[in-house]
Amino acid sequence: MKTGLLWFDDDPRKELEEKVLRAAAHYERKYGRLPELCYVHPDAFGDNGNGHHDKKSDVVKAGEVEVRAGRSVLLHHFWLGMAEEKGAKATPRQSRTQRIREVEAQKESMTPEEARQLAMTLEIS
């Protein structure tokens, strides 16, 4: 995962799964789909009573989201996004500004309803 949403939740009353599900719900509202993957600090998994956490438990599921330990993620932070396919080449994402410029160029040939629908689409994404 190269890009994603960073979420912070340090509420001691909530379990890891609840925190991930809340972050995933926000991700879905923002991007229109659930994330596939969430990285958390290894200590978010707890320990086995001796101060060391069990490496086997460093991958769990929270709903449909796979939760993995990531040493580069700060404690109480959740990095959510889509898993990358092996061998898949990343496609550059068109910036919102580029999309708006393209729409402005096409505006002359659009009906008012088409322009309104496109404006709503740009607001959502």
Q: In this predicted model, what pLDDT tens digit does every residue of 69-100 receive, in sequence order?
A: 998 999 999 999 998 866 555 445 556 566 66
Give residue 44's domain range. Answer: 5-81
> Do the domain assignments include residue 87?
no
**Would 24 be classed as within a structural domain?**
yes
Inside any domain, residue 15: yes
Assess whether 70 and 123 both reside in one domain: no
At a CB cut-off of 8 Å and minimum separation 6, what does 77 contact? 6, 7, 8, 40, 41
State the total domains in the chain: 2
Residues 25 and 46 placed together within one structural domain of the fold: yes
Question: Considering the chain, what is the average pLDDT of its residues?
Answer: 78
pTM of the model: 0.62
Residues 53 and 76 in one domain: yes
**In-domain check, residue 109:** yes
- In a domain? residue 86: no
Is residue 88 in a domain? Answer: no
Residues 120 and 74 in one domain: no
Rounded Cα gap, residues 29 and 25, in angstroms? 6
123 pLDDT band (50/70/90 cuts)?
low
Shared-domain flag, residues 77 and 97:
no
Q: Which residue shows structure tokens 């708006």?
A: 100
Evaluate whether residue 16 is within a structural domain. yes
